[in-house]
């Protein structure tokens, strides 16, 4: 079975502080992992995917197959980072399996 | 260019009624996906079309749910005999098709069954 777990429903940090949004997955094969973001009143959009190995808006995420994790990190959070963040997995098919999401609030 | 569009944006219906939700994908995208997002949950896969055919409908919860894409572009999600538990945001996404391509999401249709 494919499963994505985001243990934190809410996360609150101050501007300029580091932030880490946790994501753990369960899949027996080689997954593709994604982070999606939904800003207030906007549609869900792709933030980054592990195969791209990019840094988007200062965010990075490393796939750790040993720990089955794909945590999202940013060294210095900004107020505009406040949003819902969803970790998602593709495991050998087209469908995305999403976690329940983490609401990040960056306080001034 | 225009993104994925969905109509209506909001739909309120009575228990037992039939509803149709429409999705217009990005022009040229061959793959189309439907997801359902209940309150406090992440999106949950329902069905995936490649062209006109449903390539994977494993996420449809029961036979009250049906989706079509007759010309390989616009898709309609149909729900018969709606139940209060069907209340959710229904999301549509499209992609160029194929495992490597990004799925682009629409704004969703919020369905409320009273």
pLDDT above 90 covers what percent of chain B? 93
Q: How many Å separate Cα A94 from the centre of its chain?
A: 19
Pairing type for strands A10-14 and A102-107 reads parallel
The residue of chain B with its CA nearest to that of A48 is: B102
Residue A91 to residues A2, A31, A61, B94, B99, Cα–Cα distance (Å)? 7, 5, 18, 18, 10
pLDDT at residue B97 in the model: 79
Residue B90 to residues A15, A28, A85, B34, B45, Cα–Cα distance (Å)? 34, 29, 18, 7, 10
Q: What is the dihedral of CA B95, A30, A56, B30, to 10 degrees?
A: 0
The 3-state DSSP class for residue A32 equals strand
- Distance to chain A for B98, nearest Cα, Å: 8
Rounded average pLDDT per 10-residue block, chain A, 108 residues: 95 98 94 95 94 87 93 97 97 93 98
Flag whether pLDDT at B98 surpasses 80.
no
pLDDT above 70 covers what percent of chain B? 99
pLDDT at residue B1 in the model: 58
Tokens of B107: 């704004």
In B38-106, which ranges are E strands? 44-50, 53-56, 65-68, 75-79, 88-95, 104-105
pLDDT at residue A108 in the model: 95
B28's CB contacts (< 8 A; 6+ apart) are: B96
Q: Can the peptide bond before residue B8 be classed as cis, meaning omega within 30 degrees of 0?
A: yes
Q: Which pairs from A1-7 meet CB under 8 Å and 24+ separation?
A: A1/A26, A2/A26, A2/A27, A2/A31, A2/A89, A2/A91, A2/A97, A3/A27, A3/A97, A4/A87, A4/A88, A4/A89, A4/A97, A4/A98, A4/A99, A4/B42, A5/A99, A6/A85, A6/A86, A6/A87, A6/A99, A6/A100, A6/A101, A6/A102
The string of pLDDT tens digits covering residues B38-51 is 999 999 999 999 99
pLDDT at residue B40 in the model: 92
Flag whether pLDDT at B99 surpasses 80.
no
Across the interface, whether the CB atoms of B31 and A94 are under 8 A apart is answered yes
Which residues of chain B lie closer than 8 angstroms to A94, CB-CB?
31, 33, 48, 50, 55-56, 99
Q: Look at B100 and A85; give whichever has higher pLDDT.
A: A85
Mean pLDDT, chain B, whole residue set: 95
The string of pLDDT tens digits covering residues B48-73 is 999 999 999 999 999 999 999 999 99
pLDDT at residue A55 in the model: 83
Across the interface, whether the CB atoms of A46 and B56 are under 8 A apart is answered no
Across the interface, whether the CB atoms of A94 and B56 are under 8 A apart is answered yes
Which residues of chain B lie closer than 8 angstroms to A101, CB-CB?
41-42
The residue of chain A with its CA nearest to that of B3 is: A43
């Amino acid at each position: 079975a494919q499963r994505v777990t985001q243990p934190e429903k809410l996360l609150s940090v101050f501007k300029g502080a580091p932030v880490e949004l946790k994501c753990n997955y369960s899949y027996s094969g080689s997954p593709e992992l994604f982070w999606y973001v939904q800003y207030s009143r906007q549609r869900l959009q792709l933030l980054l995917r592990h195969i791209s190995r990019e840094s988007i808006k200062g965010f990075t995420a490393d796939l750790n197959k040993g720990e089955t994790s794909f945590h999202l990190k940013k060294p210095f959070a900004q107020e505009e980072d406040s949003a819902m963040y969803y970790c998602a997995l593709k495991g050998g098919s087209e469908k995305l399996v999403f976690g329940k999401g983490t609401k990040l609030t960056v306080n001034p | 260019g225009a993104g994925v569009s969905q109509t209506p944006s909001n739909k309120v219906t009575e228990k037992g009624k039939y509803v149709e939700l429409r999705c217009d994908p990005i022009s040229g995208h061959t793959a189309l996906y439907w997801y359902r997002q209940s309150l406090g949950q992440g999106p949950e896969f329902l069905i995936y079309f490649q062209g006109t055919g449903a390539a994977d409908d494993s996420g449809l919860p029961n036979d009250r749910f049906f989706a079509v894409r007759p010309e390989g572009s616009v898709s309609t999600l149909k729900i018969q005999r709606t139940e209060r538990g069907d209340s959710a945001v229904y999301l549509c996404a499209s992609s160029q098709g194929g495992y490597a391509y990004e799925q682009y999401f629409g704004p969703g249709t919020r369905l409320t069954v009273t």
